[in-house]
Amino acid sequence: MHLPKWAVGIGSLLIVAGGYGLYALHRENQSLYQEVERVSHLIQERPVELATFMASYERFLTKLHQAGAAENWPLAAFYHEELEETAEQLERLAILDDGIPVSAMMRPNLIEPLEAVERAIQAKDAASFHKALQEVVVRCNGCHVAAGKPYIRFSIPTTDQPPRQLFSKKADI
């Protein structure tokens, strides 16, 4: 077959362009691999990250309780949101900690019980607020048991006693 010169020209141009496209793809893959390698140590350091999350839960939970006890509802709404956002962030990270699907456990154990707290804040209902917050702490403790860490326990708050971590030994653990 005899092709006109212009067709040969376009044909080779296409081949060169295609070749360059593949090369660009290869380069992009390579830089993606490098990026994954650069950040993969973050994944190995996840346990540290998890404890950091928990430390903020403890802080936000205490402040949430205090704000509710003072019936300062805008402040309680602020800490409720901080707690909820941090919980959702941990959920999105899809963390498996020693085989425990910690992220998947966030919704039933923290995000859902926090919904009743939010409703109580919106209704400015102190009694429901305290009841809902007690349930949250029951779930915090429950999740620690489920995650094989039953020794991380919090006291169930009352209207004037904020939840606090219990350091005493418990007979059954």
Chain residues binding ligand HEC by CB under 6 A are 47, 50-51, 54-55, 57-58, 61, 97, 102, 105-106, 109-110, 136, 140, 143-144, 147, 149, 152, 154, 165
CB of 75 to ligand HEC, least distance (A): 17
Q: In the bound complex, what is the minimum distance in angstroms from residue 70's beta carbon to ligand HEC?
A: 20
Shortest Å distance, C-beta 141 to ligand HEC? 8
Residue 167 corresponds to which tokens in the numbers above? 């350091």
Considering the complex, state which of residue 34 and residue 89 has its C-beta at the smaller distance from ligand HEC: 89
Q: How far is residue 144's CA from residue 148's CA, in Å, rounded to a whole number?
A: 6
Nearer to ligand HEC, 73 or 154 (CB): 154
CA distances from residue 8 to 13, 14, 105 in whole angstroms, order as listed: 8, 10, 62
Nearer to ligand HEC, 51 or 123 (CB): 51
Residue nearest to ligand HEC (CB): 140
